[in-house]
């Protein structure tokens, strides 16, 4: 019983992870941040939220607000109950999906990248 509880606790902790790449300073005051999130943190949507919150915190250090320069580029991963995998890419130009199997898809981890500037 203890082993089952420990296994569930470890899997729950690992399933709820979200992290970012850190802030990259580009030319012209543009900054970029990428983030990824596990399914329990919302996949691509959760990753976009993490990136946006870190961008706002970065600009707040300078007394400014993060202004997004383009819609976030997001990537959501899907699985097919462990038999096949696919990827769905969505950005400001539309979307594309690939992969698949005969079973229903299961949402997996996702990632997002945003470009922003700090402004008043």
Q: Determine how many CB atoms are found less than 10 A away from the CB of residue 118.
A: 19
| Six-digit token string for 48 | 């976009």
Sign of the four-CA dihedral 116, 117, 118, 120 = negative
Domain hosting 27: range is 2-119
Q: Quote the mean pLDDT of the chain.
A: 77
Does the pLDDT value for residue 8 go beyond 80?
no
Q: Domains in the chain: how many in total?
A: 1
Could you report the per-residue pLDDT of 43-95, keeping only the tens digit for each? 888 899 999 999 999 999 999 999 999 877 888 877 655 444 556 555 555 55
Contact 71, 91 (CB under 8 A): yes
In the predicted model, what is the mean pLDDT of residues 37-42? Answer: 86
Predicted TM-score (pTM) of the model is 0.64
């Amino acid at each position: 019983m203890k082993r089952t509880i420990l296994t569930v606790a470890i899997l729950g902790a690992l399933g709820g992870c979200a992290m970012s790449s850190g802030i990259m300073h580009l030319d012209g005051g543009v900054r970029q941040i990428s983030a990824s999130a596990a399914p329990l943190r919302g996949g691509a949507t959760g990753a976009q939220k993490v990136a946006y919150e870190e961008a706002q915190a970065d600009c707040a250090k300078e007394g400014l607000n993060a202004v997004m320069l383009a819609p976030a580029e997001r990537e959501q991963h899907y699985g097919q109950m462990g038999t096949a995998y696919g990827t769905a890419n969505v950005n400001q130009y539309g979307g594309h999906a690939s992969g698949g199997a005969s079973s229903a898809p299961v949402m997996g981890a996702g990632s997002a990248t945003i470009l922003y500037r700090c402004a008043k």
